[in-house]
Amino acid sequence: MNSNSEILNEENLQENEVPATTNEAPEVSEAIVEVSETPEIPEIVETAEAIEATETAETQPETTEVSEVSEVSETPATETVAEENELEQEKSKSKNKFKNSSIPVDQFDWDAFEKEAGYGDENKENVEQLYDQTLSKITENEIVEGLVTAINKREVIVNVGYKSEGVIGISEFRYNADLKVGDKVEVYVQTAEDKRGQLLLSHKQARSMRSWDRVNQALESNEIVKGFIKCRTKGGMIVDVFGIEAFLPGSQIDVKPIRDYDIFVGKNMEFKIVKINHEFRNVVVSHKALIEAELEAQKVEIISKLEKGQVLEGMVKNITTYGVFIDLGGVDGLIHITDLSWGRVNDPKEVVELDQKINVVILDFDDSKKRIALGLKQLTPHPWDSIDPNLRVGDHVKGQVVVMADYGAFIEIAPGVEGLVHVSEMSWSQHLRSAQDFLKVGEEVETVILTIDKDERKMSLGIKQLKPDPWENIETKYPIGSRHQARVRNFTNFGVFVEIKEGVEGLIHVSDLSWTKKIRHPNEFTSVGSELDVMVLEIDKDNRRLSLGHKQLEENPWEVFETIFYVDSIHEGTIVELTEKGAVVALPYGVEGFVTPRHLIKENGTPARFDEKLMFKVIEFNKNTRKILLSHTRTYEDLRRETEAANKRGEEANTQNAVKKLNSSIEKTTLGDISELAALKEEMQSVDVQVDNSEKLE
């Protein structure tokens, strides 16, 4: 048997057969030992030799074990020797046959070899069963443990006890720099055998699946896990937990606000898993949750010992636009910006800075909401208590503008002592404007104390009082009938407000703007900001009002217009406006008249049009109301009536002369006279017909 095995090994080496895994041969030999108790010794020996030929990797110990099989056999020694001789002769023939063959290995007919070697279907099935028993049973999509058998720069070879080994990329073991041959690792079976017969394994996927199981278990059991902070990201940090990248929000790092996230990068910390999104495979962890419970207990204990007015030491934890948060040793309190200083504070950073230790006084606290209101300015005396006791109303004081509002400005005359200058106290002008038009923040101003209340700690100031009141001698400065130049400030529907001097304003009624034009709104006559000459008509000193006029600067032209635009006078005019009620006509000398619709009909029967020049007759003139009524129709109707009347008067005169002539000749009537009388009769009849026709036309 040993010689046969050696011969097969030499042949296999010559044919460059791929050696099989050495650790599988002993298991096969042991299986053969178990089967060798049957009397079919020749078949077992042939099976062992067939395995040696196909696998081509038997060693000397395996040959020894096969020999031991024959020695353990219960068959008589003589029969065994005869069978061995027989087998040796067959092997020798087989060896000579294959040795003399010059066929390449890739063209070798293994089926013929198996038949000549004595393989039958039944024997082949037995061999396959025995071989399968030496292999581990694996299932796809499960995690198994494997042994690292080889490592190179690109791959790691892992043996899981299957008929072939798995090849895994070295990048999946990047986290484990100490990996070496002989280490046991967990792998995920992706495919037991692909198209090329290769076993596909993944260590990364196995590690990930194990990690998710551990993460879910930690969430369910509230287990505290350890993680490694890898890097910063938007809104927090990335933490490696069981090989999974978890998100640590910035607000969950500590109970205190974090100003520098980089100091945590590269640190190992304990965390609590607070949320898992299985759909997107996201994990959220918190370090703050581990210390919140302890802090909550401390907070309850601290609040139970608090008292209003108590002074404590704290550290500035956070600064906001509305105040400062103070850490009192496990519980936070807020100093509102108005409680930082008795003076105006625009930015809390002007008073305190981060991590500064300061003393604060407890103003109020809420047990249920665990809120604490703190104060800093209350530790110092109020500035009003140290204000100059000699300050009186009317005193002049200087200060700085600290706050501006639409209604006025706050002036700080001493640290923490402020007074209000209302916008109405900034100028004598009654034309109120915004306080920003007079002052700006930071400006140094001089003011006059108008009121002061030390108990209420309030003070009102004024600026206009630094100048004399322009209404003190208004009658002498602006007497009735005096003429002045004013600036237009504002319009109303009934007039124009003008300012003669700062603080001296008056109203020009719309009826006092022009003698001749009918003005419906002041913007038809002037504009805001323009200069306008005025005359003082009335003075109301109590209400600080002046009644002014503009047309009074000229003589009343209607005294003259009465002699020009008398009734029945005819003038040329232009229609400047058309309405349902009639038309406005511009006449000479800037005068306007009004025409009703029935007086706008022209001689051809059509109405007059806009911007058309026509002759108009004055049918009414009122000097007091400054109204002129006109008519275009009357111009041609009156002329027609005059013409017809003149014609009628001439016809009547002719008739009277004819009658007189007839009467004078009655006494000497002749045949010739009769013919003259007939002619006269016809003439008189024709005159009567013309008169009738003219009456009908009228």
Q: Which residues contact 156 (CB under 8 A, 6 or more apart)?
A: 148, 150, 167, 168, 169, 170, 172, 173, 179, 203
Pairing of strands 332-336, 371-375: parallel
Contact 426, 464 (CB under 8 A): yes
Buried (b) or exposed (e) across 362-377, using 16+ Cβ within 10 A? bbebeeeeeebbbbbb
Lowest-confidence segment of 53-57, 160-164, 346-350, 489-493 by average pLDDT? 53-57
Mean pLDDT is lowest, of 34-48, 199-213, 455-469, 531-545, for 34-48
Question: What is the pLDDT confidence band of residue 68, given thresholds at 50, 70 and 90?
Answer: very low
Residue 10 confidence (pLDDT):
40
Task: List the structure tokens of 694.
Answer: 């003219």
DSSP for 26-82, please give it.
HHHHHHHHHHTTSS-HHHHHHHHHHHHHHH----HHHHHHHHHHHHH--S-HHHHHH
Do the bridges between strand 236-241 and strand 200-202 make them parallel or antiparallel, or are there none, so unpaired?
unpaired
* Position 14 confidence tier, pLDDT thresholds 50, 70, 90: very low
Most confidently predicted of 66-80, 428-442, 631-645: 631-645
Of 293 and 596, more confident: 596
Confidence of residue 121 (pLDDT cuts 50, 70, 90): low
Highest-scoring range by mean pLDDT, 61-65, 165-169, 540-544: 165-169
pLDDT tens for 666-685 read 555 454 555 665 666 666 66
SS3 367: coil
Which is more confident, 419 or 126?
419
Q: What is the three-class DSSP state of 535?
A: strand
Average the pLDDT over 201-214 and give the result: 81
**pTM attached to this predicted model:** 0.39
**% helix, strand, coil for the chain, step of 5:** 35, 30, 35
DSSP assignment of 276-333: EETTTTEEEEESHHHHHHHHHHHHHHHHHT--TT-EEEEEEEEE-SSEEEEE-SSSEE
Q: How confident is the model at residue 515 (pLDDT cuts 50, 70, 90)?
A: confident
Q: Are strands 504-509 and 545-549 parallel, antiparallel or unpaired?
A: parallel
Confidence of residue 16 (pLDDT cuts 50, 70, 90): very low
Tens-digit pLDDT profile for residues 307-332: 888 888 888 988 998 999 988 877 88
Q: How high does pLDDT run on average in the chain?
A: 75
> Quick one: pLDDT at residue 56?
40
What does the pLDDT average to over 541-546?
Answer: 80
**Percent of the chain at pLDDT above 70?**
72
Which H or E element spans position 618? Answer: strand 613-622
For residues 203 and 166, the answer to whether their CB atoms sit within 8 Å is no
SS3 170: helix
pLDDT at 350: 87
The whole-number pLDDT of residue 662 equals 57
Overall average pLDDT of the 13-22 stretch: 37
Pick from 387-391, 482-486, 691-695: least confident: 691-695
Strands of the sheet with 166-169, listed across from one edge = 166-169, 155-159, 143-151, 184-191, 200-202
pLDDT digits (tens, 9 = 90+) for 238-255: 988 877 889 999 888 887
